[in-house]
Amino acid sequence: MPWNPVLAIGVPEIDKQHETLFQKAEQLFEAGKNGKSKEYVGELLNFLGDYTVTHFNDEEAYMAAIGYPDLQLQKQQHKDFIGKFVKLKQDYEASKGNILVILGANQLVIDWLMHHISVEDKKIGNFAKSIGK
């Protein structure tokens, strides 16, 4: 699932990170599909998880900096996603490297990101624009 420019919210730093998230999810999906080793896939999972945390922190700092009114809602949604992702990593470990877990992981990441970006993060972009940022 490649990045789609329709998902851009108009804040370049954030859009860039969203694009990277999609690339990382794609790499994970490909690795799972191509039967890469459990260690390799595990590293990609870790990387995606770490990158997501960094991205959420950056996005939250941006929202705070512009006085975005729905920061708490965003924080809660980010936290929920991290929780889901951690659970997924545990499932992958427990499954001893089952590809179905990876395909499920990819679906979770892509579906969640698409929905979250197109609905919630778009509002950040609109708010930034409304205050001339």
Q: Interface with Fe ion by CB under 5 A: which residues? A: 121
Query: What is the distance between the alpha carbons of residues 37 and 47, in angstroms, rounded to a whole number?
Result: 15
Residue nearest Fe ion (C-beta atom): 121
Query: What is the distance between the alpha carbons of residues 133 and 47, in angstroms, rounded to a whole number?
Result: 31
Q: How far is the CB of 77 from Fe ion (least distance, A)?
A: 7
Query: What is the distance between the alpha carbons of residues 63 and 59, in angstroms, rounded to a whole number?
Result: 6
Query: What is the distance between the alpha carbons of residues 48 and 37, in angstroms, rounded to a whole number?
Result: 17
Q: How far is the CB of 5 from Fe ion (least distance, A)?
A: 18
Of 81 and 98, nearer to Fe ion (C-beta) is 81
Q: How far is the CB of 95 from Fe ion (least distance, A)?
A: 29
Of 63 and 102, nearer to Fe ion (C-beta) is 63
Of 58 and 93, nearer to Fe ion (C-beta) is 58
Q: How far is the CB of 43 from Fe ion (least distance, A)?
A: 25
Phi, psi (5° rounding) for residue 11? Answer: -115, 105
Residues 32, 127 contacting (CB under 8 angstroms): no
- Residue type (1 letter), 114: M
Of 15 and 121, nearer to Fe ion (C-beta) is 121
Please report, for residues 49, 64, 70, 94, the alpha-carbon distance to residue 87 in angstroms, rounded to integers and kept in the order given. 11, 28, 26, 10
